Amino acid sequence: MRALNKLTIANLKKNRKRSIVTMLGVALSVALVFAVIAIGTSFWNTMRDYAISEYGNFHESFELIPGNKVAIVEKARGVESVYYAKDVDLTGEYLYLAGTGSPLPAKLYEPIEKLDDSMRTSDQEYIVFVRYTNPKRHERYGKDIDYALGDADVNIEARRVNSQLLLFDGDIDYNTSTILTCFAALLLGIIVIASIFTIRNSFSISTTERTREFGMLSSVGATPRQIRRSVFLEAGIIGVIAIPAGLLLGLAAALALITITNSLLEIDQNQLSLFIPIWAILLDIALGFIIVLLSSASAAIRAGRLTPIEAIRSSQDIKAKNKKIKTNRLIQSYFGIGGIIADKNLRRSRKKYRTTVVSIVVSVAVFVGMSSFVIDGQRIIEMAFPDYGANYIINGGEAKDYEKIVQKFQLDDYVIHQDLRAKNGITATVLSNEYFEKYAKSIGIKDNFNHVVILNNFIAEAHSNGSHSIKQVMTDYKPGDKYKLIMETESGEREELELEITQVTNQNPMGISINEHPSFYISDNYYQRDKLVFAEGYATMFANPGDRAKDITQYLLERQAKENPERDAEKSIITGFDMKAQREEVNNIMLLGAIFMYGFIVVVALIGVTNIFNTITTNTQLRAKEFAMLKSVGMTDDEFNRMIRFESILYSFRALLIGLPIGILISFCIHYMLIESNINLPYQLPLIPIVISIAVVAIMVNVIMYFSVRQIAKQNIIETIRQDTV
């Protein structure tokens, strides 16, 4: 047995390049698992720390408990620890918290870790903050404390639950827990299965390479069990070296992703920090060895079943029926004898190229399937933030309110919209004077703006594939025509206003993204303004304030607190929405998601590439004698190159023929599960990822084949033919 172990180690050293590439594949798999777990646990722990910093390190709080009664809470069942605070006066913007079960912001109180004897004997009332031993049972524990205080004639002012901390401490409902568990299992399952499918190719090639060696060992007494142990020993040595390297690589990747996350999201406090529990490291090591052992299992079983004669002859991979293997005439005419030999070789020994095809299929399917998630995310952002031509929107006020904001912040690029009560199935909007003149000039109107009426009768027609086309509705109207606009007053009376159309256009003013109805636009100083009947509600202001957006937001918040201190829902307030900041924030989140997703895809693809490299280069080395014989009987370099090119085409074509449909199916499933059920967003075929996959696979296979053949070409033909093994 020792001799067999020495041979295994010697084989690893002899084929150092293949061994290193296999170790790289294993290390990448382990690193990917580690990075996924590390990012997940780091995010969870950071959100938990954020909940503590915002509200405090407690699960539930009780107000107001006399000092001589706090022992009832401290000694209650399930209480792990407590701390205290004096009563908080909820005034101003925090008045709405009074009488609710929402937790108090931590900045409103100063924690008291321990009450002294004088505090415990007084009637001074305190807020008691409680942590439970089992957060999932907080409702039962809280009711027990509630009943115990009631028996002691203590009336609780409020009982507040820190739901955020309870969530991150494990109090998750069954459905959410199931979804998170399934998602984590799915993600890790994809990594493990993809890794096994690709890494097993390396062990399959290694076993094929050692087939004659196994046959000789069997002929001198080695048992199938000993041969299987030899393969598993090779896998174990690779795992022992590759798994620690993968942990370090995963740690570096996790740190890089966390740094990128903090940079993109521009978080000043509670930045995402690395947190890796011991169980995560142990799980990663266990999954690493599972990947290595399962990857080598089929090769070990196959090696143990070989008979000595079959192994020595190395004919187990050649599967050809007695009947003649026919070659397509097109192949014969274009690729010549080289193409015929390549086609017949792949037909005879399907297992040798099947491993390469599987690696490409896995990489292509994961890339195309997962890319759909990123594409759909970008489409959702475009739907949520349509192009209004403005970066800031203000609602809830009247035109005169907005004019004050314009003067205060010296805004130049803005427009105020006021809708009319039009009843003709048409939209009529009054635009602020200064902007209306700019808009009118942009479509060719030069003067007399208080008489100008602009008609946009081009509306966007939505299609089932999610796209829009422009359709003209009111085709008979042209400049100079008159239109009777019917309006309805609040009392129900009908008013008519005759509008003379100045210009017909399909160009929208600021504040309109896509027209859904034909629209009239007129100026706020229109000569018949006294006849206009405005719709209920308030005007809307659209602006591009540049770097003054934050100042406007702060001003509006201060105004809200001053004019509506009790947060009366029925009282209207002016609110601002910084579309640019929101869009950038969402784009950064999507970019972050894309980095995670494509990072995942790239690592899975790299695992596949390492094994494709292993498979093709080793197969080429195993066929060195075949290539030498072909050249010795007169095959020219041109014919030889055509043969290699055709093999590359076959590898690529057959892999893409399987991988692309699987990837498209995965992308459709992801779209249906995440998008279609909640948002009316039609499925879009990921054409760009498909094109990228085709190009990358074609280039990669050709480059690896060229590299492998170049290595063989350097060998002497006569010496190669004389070799018994590689």
Give residue-wise pLDDT tens across range 686-708.
Answer: 888 899 888 888 888 888 777 77
Q: Six-digit token pair at 448?
A: 């007399």
Percentage, residues of the chain above pLDDT 90: 8
Structure tokens of 112? 């008291």
Cβ-contact 596, 257 below 8 angstroms: yes
pLDDT given at position 21 = 76
- Render pLDDT for 501-531 as a digit per residue (tens, 0 to 9): 999 888 889 888 777 778 899 998 899 888 8
Most confident option among 17-21, 152-156, 408-412, 623-627: 408-412
Q: Which helix (H) or strand (E) holds 301?
A: helix 278-305
Residues in the chain: 726
pLDDT band at 726 (very low <50, low <70, confident <90, very high): very low
Spatial distance between the Cα atoms of 74 and 79, rounded to a whole number of angstroms: 7
Average pLDDT of the segment spanning 408-423: 88
| Closest by CA position to 610, among listed 212, 143, 29 | 29
d(CA 115, CA 303) in angstroms, rounded, equals 73
pLDDT at position 131 is 93
Give me the mean pLDDT over the 276-287 stretch.
89
- Average pLDDT estimate for 77-81: 91
pLDDT of residue 313 exceeding 90 = no
Tell the residue number behind the tokens 């740190």, with chain if given. 255
Could you tell me the pLDDT band of residue 83, with boundaries at 50, 70 and 90? Answer: very high
pLDDT tens-place string over residues 342-392 = 666 666 666 656 767 777 887 788 788 878 777 777 777 777 677 788 889
Burial of 693 (0-12, 13-18, 19+ CB in 10 A): buried
The two structure tokens encoding residue 389: 């031509």
Mean pLDDT of 188-203: 75
State the average pLDDT over residues 262-288. 79
Mean pLDDT of all residues belonging to the chain:
79
* pLDDT value, residue 84: 92
pLDDT-derived band at 608, boundaries 50, 70, 90: low
For the purposes of burial, counting CB atoms within 10 Å of the CB of 212, is it exposed (0-12), middle (13-18) or buried (19 or more)? middle
Give domain limits for the chain: 1-29+173-316, 57-161, 328-386+579-726, 392-544
* 60 pLDDT tier (thresholds 50, 70, 90): very high
**Cβ neighbourhood burial of 183 (10 Å; 0-12, 13-18, 19+):** exposed
Q: What is the pLDDT of residue 717?
A: 64
Would you give the end-to-end CA distance of the chain in angstroms? 24
Give per-residue pLDDT as tens, 109-119. 899 988 888 88
The percent of residues in the chain predicted with pLDDT above 70, rounded, is: 79
pLDDT tens-place string over residues 84-135: 998 888 776 677 787 788 888 888 889 998 888 888 888 888 999 999 999 8
The answer on pLDDT for 590 being more than 80 is no
Task: Identify the pLDDT of residue 725.
Answer: 44
pLDDT at 563: 65
pLDDT class for 314, splitting at 50, 70, 90? low
Torsions phi, psi of 325, nearest 5?
Answer: -80, 115
| 519-523 vs 453-456, strand pairing mode | antiparallel
Which pLDDT score, from 0 to 100, does residue 322 have?
Answer: 47
- pLDDT, tens digit (0-9, with 9 covering 90-100), for 201-247: 677 767 766 777 777 777 777 777 888 888 888 888 888 999 999 99
3-state secondary structure of 482: strand
Average pLDDT over residues 272-292: 88
Band of pLDDT at residue 189, cut at 50, 70 and 90 = confident
Nearest-CA neighbor of 413 among 263, 602, 545?
A: 545
In degrees, rounded to 5, the angle at the alpha carbon of residue 708 between the alpha carbons of residues 704 and 711 is 145
How much is the pLDDT for 349?
61
- Mean pLDDT of the region 490-494: 79
Where is average pLDDT lowest: 299-303, 466-470, 681-685? Answer: 466-470
Higher-confidence residue of 250 and 516: namely 250
Work out the angle at residue 284's Cα, subtended by the Cα atoms of residues 283 and 288, and round it to the nearest 5 degrees: 115
pLDDT at 213: 73
Burial of residue 694 (CB within 10 Å: 0-12, 13-18, 19+) is middle
Measured torsion, CA atoms of residues 630, 632, 637, 639, in degrees rounded to the nearest 10: -40
Position 534 scores a pLDDT of 86
Beta-bridge partners for 86: 126
- pLDDT category of residue 542 using cuts at 50, 70 and 90: very high
Measured CA to CA in angstroms, residue 613 lies from 21, 237, 605, 617, 619 at distances of: 8, 21, 12, 6, 10
Gyration radius from the chain CA atoms:
36
